[in-house]
Amino acid sequence: MPRRLRHNAQHRRAATMNRSAFDNPIDPVEYTALSAQEQERVIQLQQTVLEDVALGKDHIQVIEDICRLAESAVPDSVASCMLLNDDGASLYVLAAPSIPAPAIARLDGLRPGPGGGSCGNAVFRAQPVFVENTLTDPRWCDIRQIAVDFNINACWSMPIRTAGGKVIGSFALSSFEHRQPGIFHRKLLEISAHLIGIVLARQASEARIAYLASHDTLTGLPNRTLIRDRLEQAIARARHARGGGAVVFLDLDNFKLVNDTLGHTLGDALLAQTAERLGACLQQADSLGRQGGDEFLIVLADARTPEAISAQAERMLDAMQAPFRIDGHVVAASLSLGIAAFPADGADPDTLIRKADAAMYHAKDAGRNTYRFFTERMNHDSAEHLKLRTDMRRALDAQEFILHYQPQLDLARNAIVGVEALIRWPHPELGPIPPARFIPVAESCGAIVPIGEWVLREACRQAAAWDALGLPPLVVAVNLSAVQFRRGDLEATVERALADSGLAPERLELELTESILLQDTAHMLQLVQRLKALGVKLSIDDFGTGYSNLAYLRQLAVDRLKIDQSFVRDMTHNADNASIVRAVVQMAHSLHLRVLAEGVEDASVLDRLRAFGCDEAQGYHLARPMDAAACAAFVQQARPATASGI
């Protein structure tokens, strides 16, 4: 009496390959060569599979049912389904309900090939393989001992294919007797393999849908929903283990600028590469997800000290230091990070994410490319930040913003020759809000663009209105943000403001900082040349706080340098600052540039500037910023200027 394989009900569950789903109906079967009983078995097999699928049964359970039905139709046999691993180089057993675990363990890792048994050959040759005697057939030479040890005397195998015909595995019936398959056996193998292909395709399709529902399609990272779930799990594990962890909220600095200037395709590539760099910084227990837009969320699951979390944050910042090379462009990018720890800062995902977000905004306020831990003070600041973001869009439509103007004095002629337009926001609920508070918020949410355009239009309109009042022709200086200057439509915006107001181009001065000029110098040079072609003036604000190249300044053909007030304010008491101011004046004059000193707050500073040959001055000693009417009266009264000032 031949030995029988003992039934083993242990399920083998393994992930199937990630393949494109197909949705073919079960092909009609030619039953004419089959007996009525055989036809009934085929119909039963098809109906069972359809019912299993309709009931949402697990795909491995459905395939095991196919195996059992095939075994019941062919006495003294066991059925198995083997699939190719992801590398395509070996097979593993997906389902074999009647084969014992030791046999499965020896079959796992089988390599398709001429000596790989019936299944290895079926996959290797992409055709059915029917072996009558496994003990003598050369196609079993590599695994013959398995046949001997488990009493496999015959084995018939059918390739399992995708809808496109690609072989992905095999379905086999192994017999305890030496025999060849009949017509019914071949048809049973064919239908079983076809049904398994359909079941696997359906499972792959469902897995793909589930993946898309929980992952970001651009980066492949967990999406907002999944990363929140992982945070919830990390909190629960920490609570159980009396440990802790942290949430890191990350935001790409100036990402909108990249999209606006280089396009969304390059912006998407930057996001994907950023995700790769961040992923390389994480430990195995950590999770990285895309929160949305240019925001990422990291869950640091293990309990860590603030020092360890800081070191992790530093690694993330360092990972961004090397420029990104995308489609021929070299893009510099940085991150701002906010960190909230659990359980110290909260015990639920919403609270922790909100606090990490607040800390991230403080990192941006600190100059970007840095990180901040959450503090309770940030709760108040975060609420204020949100209110300002909401209110400033309404404020523009409600005409809440106003401009004040600070006069600029020509030191040689003692005459007011220009004014700087400075935005003010008298909030109806919060009162006057300093620009230092709302401008960074406007830059972070993109509102700076429409606000900046309004400032430009209003300043030009007011300068033209002063002309109508008979004031001397004043040059009006307008600050440009980095976002505004890098937008492709700045030239058109300036043209419209001049055309609508009727102001002569040489009466408008555009102020930009050194940091703006140092970004994408080729682009900046072209834009400056186009603006200069319009006839407007160009100045560099806060000069001395950046790293301008003198040769580059000559290329830009700027008209004026404005020395930052940090050097001017105490120059009479600080010899180093005085030396810097004198050197800047001399250097600028050698390049045929005029120089304006900001922050003049007493007469001694004004006298020293005159001695250095500085061209213009601006500051509280001369005049504070004032509304348009007060400024007009001040300019009228100041004609002519006194020798000591205004």
Taking 50 as the threshold, does the pLDDT of residue 509 lie above it?
yes
Domain at 399-637, CATH class: alpha beta
* pLDDT-based confidence at residue 13 (cuts at 50, 70, 90): very low
The alpha carbons of the chain give a radius of gyration, in whole angstroms, of: 38
Whether the upstream peptide bond of residue 640 has omega within 30° of 0, thus cis, is yes
Tens-digit pLDDT profile for residues 363-399: 988 888 999 999 877 666 667 777 888 898 889 889 9
pLDDT at residue 517, as a whole number: 64
Give the residue with greater pLDDT, 574 vs 465: 465
Percent of the chain predicted with pLDDT > 70: 88
* Domain ranges in the chain with CATH number 3.30.450.40: 36-212
Taking 50 as the threshold, does the pLDDT of residue 586 lie above it?
yes
Taking 70 as the threshold, does the pLDDT of residue 54 lie above it?
no
Mean pLDDT across the stretch 432-441?
87
Comparing 126-135, 245-254, 536-545, the range with the smallest average pLDDT is 536-545
pLDDT at residue 644, as a whole number: 43
pLDDT at residue 617, as a whole number: 96
Taking 90 as the threshold, does the pLDDT of residue 510 lie above it?
yes
Q: Number of C-alpha atoms within 13 angstroms, CB side, residue 522? A: 3
pLDDT at residue 14, as a whole number: 30
Taking 80 as the threshold, does the pLDDT of residue 141 lie above it?
yes
Q: Which residues have a Cβ under 8 Å from the Cβ of 37 and sit 6 or more positions away?
A: none
Give the residue with greater pLDDT, 436 vs 158: 158
Q: Which residues have a Cβ under 8 Å from the Cβ of 486 and sit 6 or more positions away?
A: 257, 260, 261, 516, 519, 520, 523
Tokens describing residue 578: 């005085």
* pLDDT-based confidence at residue 444 (cuts at 50, 70, 90): confident
pLDDT at residue 118, as a whole number: 96
Amino acid at 567: F
Contact 509, 538 (CB under 8 A): yes
Taking 80 as the threshold, does the pLDDT of residue 10 lie above it?
no
Tokens describing residue 504: 């002569």
pLDDT at residue 582, as a whole number: 93
Place of tokens 């949410």: 445
pLDDT at residue 388, as a whole number: 86
pLDDT at residue 486, as a whole number: 66
Tens-digit pLDDT profile for residues 614-643: 999 999 999 999 999 999 999 999 876 443
pLDDT at residue 346, as a whole number: 92
Residue 31: enclosing H or E segment and its boundaries? none
* Domain ranges in the chain with CATH number 3.30.70.270: 224-375
Taking 90 as the threshold, does the pLDDT of residue 3 lie above it?
no
Partners of residue 81 on adjacent β-strands: 95, 171
Mean predicted lDDT score pLDDT of the chain: 86
Residue 63: enclosing H or E segment and its boundaries? helix 59-73
Percent of the chain predicted with pLDDT > 90: 59
pLDDT at residue 616, as a whole number: 96
Comparing 30-39, 62-71, 168-177, 310-319, the range with the smallest average pLDDT is 30-39
pLDDT at residue 29, as a whole number: 45
Amino acid at 585: V
Give the residue with greater pLDDT, 645 vs 39: 39
Tens-digit pLDDT profile for residues 248-298: 999 999 888 788 778 889 999 999 999 999 999 998 889 999 999 999 999
pLDDT at residue 380, as a whole number: 63
What is the topology classification, in CATH, of domain 224-375? Alpha-Beta Plaits (3.30.70)
**CA angle, corner 477, sides to 473 and 480, nearest 5?**
155
Tens-digit pLDDT profile for residues 71-128: 988 999 999 999 999 989 999 999 999 999 999 999 999 999 999 999 999 999 999 9
Mean pLDDT across the stretch 15-29?
36
Length of the chain: 646
Tens-digit pLDDT profile for residues 320-377: 999 999 988 888 899 999 999 999 899 999 999 999 998 998 898 888 899 999 987 7
Mean pLDDT across the stretch 159-164?
93
Give the residue with greater pLDDT, 50 vs 435: 435
* pLDDT-based confidence at residue 22 (cuts at 50, 70, 90): very low
Comparing 54-58, 396-400, 413-417, 437-441, the range with the smallest average pLDDT is 54-58
pLDDT at residue 85, as a whole number: 94
Give the residue with greater pLDDT, 228 vs 549: 228
Neighbours of 300 (CB within 10 A): 24
- Give the CATH H-level superfamily of domain 36-212: GAF domain (3.30.450.40)
Contact 476, 459 (CB under 8 A): yes
**CA angle, corner 76, sides to 70 and 77, nearest 5?**
45
* Domain ranges in the chain with CATH number 3.20.20.450: 399-637
Tokens describing residue 450: 């429409």
